Amino acid sequence: MRTALITGASSGIGRKVALHLAKCGFQVTACARRENLLSALAEELGPQHMVRALDVTKRGAVRTVVSEIIDKHGGLDLLFNNAGINVQGTCGIEGEAFDSVIGTNLTGAWNVLNEVVPHMKLREQGTIINVSSICGKTAFPDVGIYSASKFGLLAINESLFRELVPLGIRVTALCPSWVNTDMAVHGPMSDDKKIQTNDICTSIDYLLSLSPNAHVKELVLECGSDLI
């Protein structure tokens, strides 16, 4: 059975992806910081799947969860590296907010990769999907810190793409614009004009359906109203 680790799984994109991959036959490990929301997810996933409270900024905790997956299942086939937070602003914000965004979106994402990649290298197989953002491609006003974290994640993604694809490991950065989740509740358009979480699941299905010789470094999803 294929195995998948989803971070940031308590709500939004991560929650939808965890449920989708479980329906697709993956043995899912869903992780996030908010334990109250994880309890509801655990009920929906069922006891055959693992749900773990995890702060990706804590390297020891990340190592423990990844080791548990490897020990139980013998390997990890798919990483959906999704944990992330956002704050408005570029300058004039509190240093703690800066540290929190960079710590979660960039350092936290790296913490997970740092534990997962060696196991995938040993097996010479696996799929890594790093969730960046359209803000990782273009730095818009008032989201400079968030953009910095997502630009940084794209740099790590591209380096890993060049390192791991020759070994048979897929590496893709997913870069969506406004997705209809709580994080984008104050977006500049109505919910029906945003990218839907089902679109993210369909994107994952597409990436997994490609032949072994086809690799996608970045997948950018824009809202139609972005282009008007």
What pLDDT was estimated at residue 27? 97
| 98/190: higher pLDDT | 98
Which phi and psi angles does 73 have, rounded to 5°? -115, -10
d(CA 108, CA 62) in angstroms, rounded, equals 9
Phi-psi region of 11 (alpha: psi -120 to 50; beta: other; left: phi over 0): beta
Query: Which architecture characterizes domain 3-227 according to CATH?
Result: 3-Layer(aba) Sandwich (3.40)
Please write the tens of the pLDDT for every residue from 77-119: 999 999 999 989 999 888 899 999 999 999 999 999 999 999 9
Which tokens in the block code for residue 107? Answer: 């350092």
What pLDDT was estimated at residue 115? 98
Q: Which candidate in 80, 98, 110, 146 is catalytic?
A: 146
* Inter-CA distances, 100 with 49, 85, 93, 95, Å: 29, 8, 12, 9
Closest by Cα among 64, 106, 79 to 14: 79
| Residues 6+ away with beta carbon under 8 Å from 122 | none
Quick check: 171 pLDDT over 60?
yes
d(CA 198, CA 190) in angstroms, rounded, equals 17
Asked about 206 being catalytic, the answer comes back as no
Q: Are 169 and 128 in contact (CB under 8 A)?
A: yes
Please write the tens of the pLDDT for every residue from 192-225: 888 999 999 999 999 999 999 999 999 999 998 6
What pLDDT was estimated at residue 94? 85
Domain range list for the chain: 3-227
d(CA 44, CA 140) in angstroms, rounded, equals 37
Buried b (16+ CB within 10 A) or exposed e, 34-45: eeeebeebbeeb
Please write the tens of the pLDDT for every residue from 8-37: 999 999 999 999 999 999 999 999 999 889
d(CA 35, CA 41) in angstroms, rounded, equals 10
Q: Are 225 and 190 in contact (CB under 8 A)?
A: no
